[in-house]
Structure 1
Amino acid sequence: MINFGIIGTNFITKQFIAAAENTGRMRLTAVYSRTQAKAQAFASAYRYVTATHDDLADFFADDSFSTVYIASPNSLHFDQACQAITAGKNVILEKPATTSPAQMQVILDLLQAHPQVHFFEAARHIHEPNFKVVQEQVAKFDQIQGANLTYEKYSSKFDSYLAGNNPNVFTLEFAGGALQDLGVYLVYEAVALFGMPQASTYAAQKLESGVDGKGTAILDYGDFKVVLNMGKMNNSYLPGEIYAGKQTLILANNAADMEKISLVDAQGQVHVLANNRPNNPMTAEINDFVDVLENPTASVNQQKEQAWLQLAVQVNRVMYDLRQSAQIEFPTDNK
């Protein structure tokens, strides 16, 4: 059983805890929040919690857990991950892990200095069974001729932003915006399927706060291009599509959730390759991470862990390049 602590008391944290405990392989034992009252209120719903904290140093010194799940605002990820690694805690860090390649390099250096620590970026969709179906089909194509991947979802915080408030997800200070929040799913998908692009550009529709409310990215692979559409100001119901001559692979209901995978063949016939929606989309990643934590010396687990880390580094680079092309800068970039 893996005991874990959490940083962040939002809906995504609750979803992670539910998935973790439903696997029967992890249990929540410690909670950190900015106030003790909030930490205690959150912890009251979970029977195995033995400690709550409002001080990060005390939290990371807590020996009731070996692994931390970090789901704080994006701009805080780097500092908190560094503290966790230094304290010897395994890290499951919500995407995006950091805001720059320089920060990612610091994490890599810390991991090298603490070889007993395991680090995972929580890109849950690349661990799901349906994504593996997509990978297998893409590998069968003789030639890729491009892709259009879309993830646009009206943010629950956008009304607050329009009302003149300053929610974290729409501020530069907290490294917000459509690319960081939803676009990261698409970048992960593209890099996992097609590798590193030769060039990356991003046409962003910026809000007055300076972040991108929506935008379109183009990843140039030389022989083909991948178009990424992302947004937090409206809803899109377009599926993702991957093109291979007369064949098209369709990822519905969007390119991030991928609840249904279909192949349209050269004759226009539709073949459903997968059609399932997990009860909790975080379950697959948790099982993958726990496999490594429970048996870290197994060669297959070491290979998977290294592949995930390499992918995280590549995605971080592309995300940074896209932001730079759109001249979106965060205060944490030079930290």
Structure 2
Amino acid sequence: MLKLGIIGTNIITDQMLDAAKTTGQYQLTAVYSRTLTRAKEYGEPYGATAFYDSLEDFFNEGDFDVVYIASPNSKHYEQARLAIENDKFVILEKPAFVNPEEFSRIESLLAAHPKARLVEAARHIHTGLFHAGEDQLKKMDTIQGANITVMKYSSRYDKVLADEKPYPNIFTPEFAGGALMDLGVYAVYGAVTLFGVPDSVVYFPTMTKSGVDGMGTAILTYDQFAVTLNFGKTANSHLVSEIYGLKDTLVFDSIFDTTKVTYFDANQEPTELEAPYFENSMVDELNDFAALFNAPDDPEQVANYKRWQTLSREVNAVMYNLRESAELTFPADNNR
């Protein structure tokens, strides 16, 4: 059983802890929050026994093997740094880091702490249905392009519209927020996993008065085709995500919370792909990560870790290049 500590007491952490329980491989022991009251209030119902409002005490005194970090994006680097320096296994919510400089520093730190591991929680690429889609894609003779959509209205945008300050973290540059950094990362991860690193990228954002992108369209150009990404937090979309062959098409009902993948052959006959499915889409990634943490030196797990790290680095670079194309900057970029 892996002992688990958490940073971040929010909805995504609820989902993670529910998934962790389903796997039967994690036990929550320690919780960090900005106040002890909040740490206890959140952690006690899940069986945690140690609570902290000091990150240093959390890492120095906390009895845990794995730390799950689900804090605002701008906090990831410092918190991951502390975790690695304390030789922890780290599950870091996406996007892992704000820019390539942060990513590079963390990789150097990991090299200096060989017992530590860091994985980015890109839950959607670990699911059975996503893998089934990957396998079907490899069988398609021609790829002419794709459209990937991840768009859901955030209730927190109501506060921006009402000009209620301080604005929610996810809608501020100070916390490295915005559509690309919150939901766009799902689309970018999907594209880079399925098609590799693009030759060029460009992003056309729609800005909010809080100083970040509320929604936008990104175009990833490859040698023989282009992939269009639509994502946002200020509108709702009901579009599927599609990959276009010659006469055939591969359809994900949702790229980030997939419940159905359908392949339409050249005669437009549909086949629904089959794969093991968990209602909580974080179960598969937590099972994968537990396999790594329990046997970090196993050759298969070494290969998995290398593949995940490479993909994470590639996604980080694409995300940063998209921001650069749109001249979107964050205070964290000044620390480069």
TM-score higher than 0.5: yes
Q: Would the aligned equivalents of 1:210 and 1:328 in 2 still touch at CA under 8 Å?
A: no
Q: Which runs of 5+ in 1 are unaligned?
A: none
Normalised TM-score (structure 2): 0.97
Q: Which residue of 1 aligns with 2:102?
A: 103
Using the TM superposition, give the Cα deviation of residue 277 of structure 1 relative to its aligned residue in structure 2, in angstroms.
5.5
Letter in 1 for 2:234: M
Counterpart mapping for 1:142-153 below 5 A: 142-153=141-152
Match of 2:92 in 1: 93
Q: TM-score under structure 1 normalisation?
A: 0.97
Distance 2:296 2:83 in 1: 19
- Structure 1 residues 269-325: Cα deviation after superposition (integer angstroms, max 9, x where no partner): 111113875221100000000001111121111100110000000000000000111
Q: Aligned partner of 1:6: which letter?
A: I
> Which shifted more, 14-23 or 316-325?
14-23
What one-letter code is carried by the residue in structure 2 that aligns with 1:95?
K
> What is aligned with 2:329?
329
Q: What's the counterpart of residue 53 of structure 1?
A: 52
Alignment of 1:291-306 (within 5 A): 291-306=291-306
Equivalent residue number for residue 39 of structure 2: 39
**One-letter code aligned to 1:311:** L
Aligned match of 1:226: 227
Paired residues for 1:212-291 under 5 Å: 212-252=213-253, 254-274=254-274, 278-291=278-291
In structure 2, the residue matched to 1:125 is 124
Counterpart amino acid of residue 292 in structure 1: L
For the residues of structure 2 that align with 1:99 and 1:118, how far apart are their CA atoms?
Answer: 19
Match of 2:63 in 1: 64
Distance 2:126 2:148 in 1: 18
Distance in 2 (alpha carbons) for counterparts of 1:50 and 1:208 = 42
Aligned ranges 1:150-169 → 2 under 5 Å: 150-165=149-164, 166-169=167-170
Quote the residue 1:76 is aligned against: 75
- Cα deviation, residue 63, structure 1: 4.2
* 1:312 to 1:137, Cα distance in 2 relative to 1, 3 A: same
CA-atom RMSD in angstroms: 1.1
In structure 2, distance between residues paired with 1:244 and 1:46: 47
Q: Tell me, in whole angstroms, the C-alpha distance in 2 between the residues paired with 1:184 and 1:14.
A: 20
How far off is 1:241 after superposition?
0.2
1:175 corresponds to which letter in structure 2? A
The one-letter amino acid of 2:120's match is E
Rounded to whole Å, the distance in 1 between the matches of 2:287 and 2:327 is: 38
Return the alpha-carbon distance in structure 2 between the equivalents of residues 144 and 101 of structure 1: 30
One-letter amino acid of the counterpart of residue 106, structure 2? I
Aligned pairs (5 A) from 1:201-220: 201-220=202-221
Alpha-carbon distance in structure 1 between the residues aligned to 2:2 and 2:255: 32
Cα deviation for residue 46 of structure 1 reads: 1.7
Q: How high is the sequence identity, in percent, across the aligned residues? A: 49
Asked whether 1:4 is paired with 2:8, we answer no
- Give the letter aligned to residue 99 of structure 1: V
Residue deviations 1:227-274, cap 9 Å, x none?
A: 00001111101000001100000110x222121100111111111113
Q: 1:194: which partner in 2?
A: 195
Partners of 1:257 and 1:23 lie apart in 2 by 19
Distance between the aligned counterparts of 1:275 and 1:176, measured in 2?
Answer: 34
**SS across alignment from 2:175:** coil
Counterpart in the other structure of 1:29: 29
Q: Is the 8 A contact 1:259 1:276 kept in 2?
A: no
Q: Distance in 2 between matches of 1:255 and 1:90?
A: 27
Contact 2:99–2:316 (CA under 8 A) maintained in structure 1:
yes
8 Å CA contact retained: 1:144, 1:243: yes
Query: What is the SS of the residue equivalent to 1:227?
Result: strand
Answer whether contact 1:262 1:273 (CA < 8 A) is retained. yes
Q: Is the 8 A contact 1:50 1:64 kept in 2?
A: no
Pairs aligned (count): 333
Distance 1:102 1:290 in 2: 28
Counterpart of 2:274 in 1: which secondary structure? strand
State the 1:64 CA deviation. 1.0
- Asked if structure 2 preserves the Cα contact closer than 8 Å seen for 1:201 and 1:219, the reply is yes
Unaligned runs of 5+ in 2: none
- Secondary structure, aligned partner of 1:173: helix
